Every structure is written in structure tokens, then in C-alpha cells.
A and B are shown apart, each in its own frame.
Chain A
């Protein structure tokens, strides 16, 4: 019953919680609502009135959302808090993974530039002092450090976009492929996305370590270590992504099935 699923989604969608927890809520609430509907249908014999009565007995969706939200651990609530910018940072329907990754990267560049300009402005307008200790950084070094942070953030966003969305999308394509050739192409694209994403994430992590190494009086990584971390990420990233690919694909399909429901449909007064 689509109307029942929509009612469940009205309750669960606004909740800030992990997808597995939300899936669990969806399934459990739907099981209860279905039983309510069956009971009402046996009593009235009319689908429309049975649906309306089951929804009424189940309770107000907004109040139930609030109560369910309070039952989610605070750390999870915080981690999955829906920021106002969350929408643009999500992959749009029909958007290719590469485009999504580039868009994510643009967000990163924009945020990095904004921070960098602000820091530059502060550095220019406020009269600075020369560092009085050998381990203190100069304004110029601080700006270089900030540029590194922005670059690392961009690489992370881009890499994550390729790895998560790219691989997930291609796994879907592989499942939907009708010919052996299409399936093989999808596999090659999965490998490509996984390698590129892992390399970017690995080099971002290693770059972060190099930056810490350059600006702080502690040594974490050498230049050769940078390449080892990157190569290690490339070697370990794709197999781990592919190992979890099936679960990820199933979870994504379940999640998208629910997320695609139009909540304004079947609205009961």
C-alpha cells in the first residue's frame, strides 16, 4: 500500500539518524501500520476509509517524528544533522557521479577560497608582528598552510565523491546491464572510480601529514612516506569498496526506494 508507505516516510524522513536506523524504523512502523490497515479493512471493507482510519490511529506524523528523534542517540543525531546546505551537497536525480564529484569539488574550492580570502584580508589589515620564536610561523607561512588545507579539503571531497557515488552508480549499472560487454564496461568504470577516488583520498591524507610535518615542530611523514600512503590507499581502497559493494548497493536501493516517495501524495486531511 503506497499510502501507508508515504505515511511512514512522512514520519521517518525528517529524522536525523543513520540510514540503517531509519530503515529499521521504516520497516517496523510499516509492519504495524499494515496490520492496522488490515484490521480496519476487515471491519469496514473499504480501502479508502480503512487507510484513513489506520493513519489516524497511528498518530500525527510530526509528533511521532519528534518522539522518534528523541529516541536517537545524541551523537548520531549530531552526525546526521541535516544542515541547510545538505541539499546541494547531495547527488541529484540523474546526475552523473563525475559531475557530482566535480560539483562537490567546486563547493570545496568556493569554501576554500572564501576562507583564504578572509584569512588574507585579516593578514593584510591587521599589523603583524615578526615571530619571536623559531617555531612560530609567519603570516605568509600561515597563508600557505591555509591553502594546503583548502587543497586537501578539495581533494578529499572530490575523492569521496568518486569513491562513494561513482562506485555505487556503476554497481547499479552493472546490475542493470543486459549484455556481457555492458557489464564489463561497468566493472572497468568501477575499478577506475575506485582507484581514482582512493588515490585522491590517500594523497589528501598523506598531504595533510606532510603539511603538519612542514608547519609544526613534529615529524609525522617523509616525502617517500607520502607516496607509500597514496599507493597503499590505491591498493587497499578498491578491494574494500568492492567487498562492501553488494551491501552498499542493496542499502542504496532500499534507501532510494523510500526517498523517491512523494510525501504530498495521498495526504489525509
Chain B
């Protein structure tokens, strides 16, 4: 399968992050790894792109973040832990519904129903 580029993912990255956070709280690195694992390595976007999307989601109140408190077990800079908010959960449901409709309509038009 050809890798999915950043251009193709435009507009969907936020939804993917929300879906990753539905499984539980995570920091940026864990979110990225979870997306990578779920896609089977098909996502071909730069890892730094995750953070602008996370900040946008935080600004919209879809995710909430806090700095990790204990860093004694791990040297280096602190990480921020993100979690899904109730508003984020609702947005994720709406995004899923939109996606189902999108796939059903375009699948029918292309002759390849989902």
C-alpha cells in the first residue's frame, strides 16, 4: 500500500488524534506511535506536524493537557499529557459519522462501495 502523505491527510489529522486519545491519556510521542501502529506504517507525514494539530485541538477545547509531574525515572525535557474532553468526544463521534457518509457517497460514485 502506498504511504498516505500529509496533503492527503489534511483535515483528517485532528480526527485521527482524537481517535488515538479515545484509548486513553497520552503524550505526543505515544500519540504518534499509536497512529503509526494503527496505520501499519502507512502514514508518511513528518512527526513535528503532530504538535500544531494538538495545539489547535487544545485551543478548541477538544483536548486538555497538563505537564507530567514525575520525570525522575526519565532524564530530559518534560512531556505534556493530553486527554480527550467531553467536547472532543462529541466531535469525534461527529467526525466518524461524516466519514461514513463521505465514504458511502464517494464509494457509490466510484463504483467501489465501502
Contact = CB atoms under 8 A, between A and B. Distances in A.
Interface string A6-32: 000001000000000000110111111
Interface residues of A, number: 24
Contacts of A28: 28, 51, 77, 79-80
Contact of A31 (B48, B50, B79): B79
Contacts of B47: 32, 36, 57-59
Nearest to B58: A71
Contacts of A184: none
Interface stretch (A62-70, A77-85, A240-248): A62-70
Given A28-B80, A31-B76, A58 B46 contact: yes
B52 A64 contact: yes
A94 interface: no
A31 B51 contact: no
A36 B36 CA distance: 14
B72 to A, nearest CB: 15
A60 interface: yes
The prevalent SS among residues of B at the interface is: helix
Contacts of B79: 28, 31
A42 B51 CA distance: 24
Contacts, number: 64
Interface string B34-58: 0000000000001111111101100
A35 interface: yes
Nearest to A5: B77
A34 B76 contact: yes
Interface residues of B, number: 20
A59 B76 contact: no
A115 B55 CA distance: 42
Interface in A184-243: none
A73 interface: yes
B29 interface: yes
Contacts of A68: 51-52, 55
Contact of A59 (B28, B46, B53, B56): B46
Nearest to A38: B76
B24 to A, nearest CB: 19
A227 B48 CA distance: 55
Contacts of B27: 31
A26 to B, nearest CB: 8
Interface of A: 11, 24-25, 27-32, 34-36, 57-60, 63-64, 67-68, 70-73
Across the A-B interface, the 7 shortest Cβ-Cβ residue pairs: A59-B46, A71-B55, A67-B52, A59-B48, A31-B77, A64-B48, A71-B52
